[in-house]
Amino acid sequence: MYRILLPTDNSDTSFNAARFAFALFGTEDSRYTLVHTFLKTAYRNALVPSMDTECEATNKLRRFERRCRAHAPGVKLAKRKSSFQLVDALNDLAERDMGELIVIGTQGEGNYGLVGRNTTAVVMGAKVPVIAVPSEWKPTPLKRILLADDGGPMDQDTLAPLIVMAERAGAEVVIAHVRTNTAAFDVRGDRKKLSALFTGVRHSFVTVAGDEVTRTLDDLAREGRIQLVTVIHRRKSFWQRLFTASKAKRMALHTTTPLLVLHHQA
């Protein structure tokens, strides 16, 4: 059974992310946990950004649960609230084996809505893969997934969530190498190694030049009718700059294409 964490602030954007998860993973063999963070009353003061109290969090979770069950009857759904920071709450649940994937909306309500800072914190700090679903996303069949190849090593453990999604949806994986001024690319050798990792999954390759990587990937997504963009976040790599710069928010927030972030542990 696939275990999915759904951060929610009871906004339409959170619900959009939940719809994406229900559509991709279904309700029969997946279990979802709604996660809402709140501020302990003792710490509430004028200098702290607006954030729900525990009572408010409980009420929002109940309303959001009803909305999810009305949309997806029979869904296996649990609720968790926490006074931790969002990324810490999600990691705590993941460590307790309650979640192996996070699906998060990229906009929300209020100062503590799921926008830039929280989304970036989850993308960079989560211990499990993350899918960031833009507020403008519209339901559409998952037919093509773009995997951004940064030239770094890939392995089956890192790619496993992507392969599961491709197999469930019967989707093709388009492996895109974005050539920069400094990157070298051994087409024959690299493609042979990557193909071995995608045995049994339809896949293809494309190589493009682009100094602005996020813009190039967004262009590929639009032109290639891609429904999901995948990147690998390495602890020390080019993508570290991607996730700490404003262009990371531009890529995740200003497109209609969901973004899957896989974490390479090496």
- Please report whether residue 243 resides in a domain: yes
Which domain does 96 fall in, by range? 2-133
- Please report whether residue 139 resides in a domain: no
Condensed to tens digits (0 to 9), the pLDDT of residues 74-125 reads 999 999 999 888 999 999 999 999 999 999 998 744 433 344 567 778 888 8
Tally of residues, the chain: 266
CB proximity list for 165: less than 8 A, separation 6 or greater:
24, 142, 145, 171, 228, 260
| CB-based burial label for 2 (10 Å; 0-12, 13-18, 19+) | middle
Closest CA to 156 of 201, 95, 206: 201
The tokens for 108 are 């929300």
- How many structural domains is the chain composed of? 2
Same domain, 96 and 164: no
Same domain, 125 and 151: no
Same domain, 7 and 128: yes
Condensed to tens digits (0 to 9), the pLDDT of residues 151-170 reads 788 899 999 999 999 999 99
pLDDT for position 187: 58
Same domain, 80 and 170: no
Same domain, 86 and 168: no
pLDDT for position 247: 46
CB atoms under 10 Å from CB of 266, counted, come to 10
pLDDT for position 253: 43
- Please report whether residue 72 resides in a domain: yes
Question: Domain end: 98, 133, 168, which one?
Answer: 133
Q: DSSP letter for 139, please.
A: -
pLDDT for position 18: 97
Same domain, 161 and 118: no
pLDDT for position 124: 82
Which residues does the chain have with pLDDT short of 70? 39-52, 108-117, 180-189, 210-213, 235-255, 265-266
- Please report whether residue 138 resides in a domain: no
Same domain, 163 and 76: no
pLDDT for position 211: 67
pLDDT for position 111: 34
Same domain, 112 and 175: no
pLDDT for position 131: 95
d(CA 102, CA 88): 13
Same domain, 242 and 164: yes
Same domain, 118 and 204: no
d(CA 123, CA 239): 11
Long-range pairs of 178-184 with CB within 8 A, sequence gap ≥ 24: 178/148, 178/149, 178/150, 178/208, 178/209, 178/210, 178/213, 178/216, 178/217, 179/207, 179/208, 179/209, 179/210, 180/209, 180/210, 180/211, 180/213, 181/211, 183/151, 184/151
Same domain, 208 and 153: yes
**pTM here?**
0.86
Question: Domain end: 71, 101, 133, which one?
Answer: 133
- Please report whether residue 168 resides in a domain: yes
Question: Domain end: 91, 109, 133, which one?
Answer: 133
- Please report whether residue 54 resides in a domain: yes
- Please report whether residue 223 resides in a domain: yes
Per-residue exposure over 170-202, b if at least 16 CB sit within 10 Å of its own CB, e if not = ebbbbbbbbebeeeeeeeeebbeebeebbeebe
Same domain, 218 and 152: yes
Query: At 9, which CATH number?
Result: 3.40.50.620
